[in-house]
Amino acid sequence: MRFILLLISVFFVNAMQAQLSAEERRATAHMEPFAIKVTASKTKPIQALQGPNLVLIDVRTAEEAAAGKIKGAIQIDYKAPDFKEKVATLDKTKQYLVYCYAGGLAEKAMKTMQEMGFKQLYCMSDGYRAYAPVETPAK
């Protein structure tokens, strides 16, 4: 009799564990890793779709960013020696869209962020120069 009760208990524990695992998978489905290159024309729809969970990062120097940047973007200079330290303070559960002037530095920054454990990244492959005609510079 004890054996049957033990067997039933094990069955119920396994069933509960399977249910929890399914719920966890559903809860984290939106956190699937990605690193996607997008063009400036795709940036606005991505911003609208992701809302406050999307953080824009301008990886140009302060001098370059002074000429104009995307409204709401934070500026973290990729060429600065403290780039990794500043990026390490960011929330890894958020999505990030990284951009520079032409796309090259943003791609390098995105790869660095991937290596640091960031899972959901966009890189504006054609850069701010392609976005700027669409957007009024934020001062």
**Higher pLDDT pick, 92 / 5:** 92
Distances in Å between the alpha carbon of 64 and those of 31, 68, 97, 119, 133? 33, 8, 18, 27, 16
Average pLDDT score, the chain? 80
Q: What is the pTM of this model?
A: 0.70
pLDDT single digits (tens) 10-49: 444 455 455 544 444 444 445 677 888 888 888 777 777 6
**Higher pLDDT pick, 24 / 74:** 74
* pLDDT beyond 60 at 74: yes
Place of tokens 């009760």: 5
Decide yes or no: CATH 3.40.640.10 for domain 32-131: no
Instruction: Enumerate the domain spans of the chain.
Output: 1-28, 32-131
pLDDT single digits (tens) 84-97: 999 999 999 999 99
